[in-house]
Structure 1
């Protein structure tokens, strides 16, 4: 009678071990805790104006007019939500009429599946990042390039930037804001 128990307990132990190892593997994949200790710094310059080309040889030269410069339309300081976050955000219209969201001096935690969102929701403090951008419209401007530094995110041409009032560093995997900034019009 004792032999039957040993036969049952060994497959049960192996089954429990397989489930535990699988669960740990899935948990590590899902949470990616090592990213909390990995910083990725990105330093991008604000996209500049393309220098005008010289007139063809023999053509009368007109006095060069100053090239249009990028113009900041709105900006704000990042506040912390789920993770300590600092830096500033600017909504910039470039000389060609396109728009970028610029993160400057960003400092936040790294994490799985971080995105930059342009939203129409107000920035709420004190909610630890949960349920702060659940309502309203947003545009994902792409994956966060780095959790530190200064970087640019182009707005799609069909997006009207005046409809949006805030920017969030958003963790798409867990639906939580790491930090956000209200965009005050300048």
Structure 2
């Protein structure tokens, strides 16, 4: 009877720590808690023109475009899941392309952060942290840095007039770190 008991406990003695180490490894990968103490600062200038695949052809009948970038809408970031502040601008460049500009962004770092342009209303506090994936949204890409000023190009098929807010979205946990309502200029 003693040999049977030893034979049954041996897999538990070896398997238990293996499962625990695997669980800790998965938890570290999934939560990436160390990013909360790591800041990534990005300082980009507002582009004059966004590069496109084909250069526009100039003709004598081409109407003149504005001299420089024009702010179409802007708003101040409010906090949701993490303390977040800064200014968001929807800017039309001289060539007619659009960018979302984050000025003086300051938020927590985290796993899988994205910049989303959405049609969702911005709600104050923690009640607004899950609303941005309920409606229409377009991901403009990974957040380049959790601090600083940066630009995100809108795809050509996105109508900027239909978008009313910008969210710093954590795709891993489906939660907004912070968001701004875009008020038309």
User: Structure 1 49/28 Cα, relative in aligned 2: closer, same or farther at 3 Å?
Assistant: closer
- Correspondence for 2:40: 40
Is 1:181 the equivalent of 2:180?
yes
User: Structure 1 39/66 Cα, relative in aligned 2: closer, same or farther at 3 Å?
Assistant: same
Q: Distance in 2 between matches of 1:99 and 1:151?
A: 13
What TM-score, normalized by structure 2, do the two folds share?
A: 0.88
Q: Distance in 1 between matches of 2:46 and 2:130?
A: 32
Q: Give the conservation status (yes or no) of the 8 Å contact 2:129–2:177.
A: no
Q: Give the conservation status (yes or no) of the 8 Å contact 1:129–1:178.
A: no
Is 1:27 the equivalent of 2:27?
yes
- Correspondence for 1:145: 144
| Dislocated runs of 4+, deviation >6 Å | none
- Correspondence for 2:57: none
**Which segments of 5 or more consecutive residues in structure 1 lack a partner in the other structure?**
51-64
Higher Cα Rg: structure 1 or 2?
1
User: Structure 1 20/128 Cα, relative in aligned 2: closer, same or farther at 3 Å?
Assistant: farther
Deviations 1:87-142 (A, max 9, x none): 01000000000000000000001101100000000001122654222321000000
Q: SS at the partner of 1:177?
A: strand
What TM-score, normalized by structure 1, do the two folds share?
A: 0.87
Q: SS at the partner of 1:131?
A: coil
Q: Report how far residue 6 of structure 1 moved.
A: 2.6
Structure-to-structure mapping, 1:156-167, within 5 angstroms: 156-167=155-166
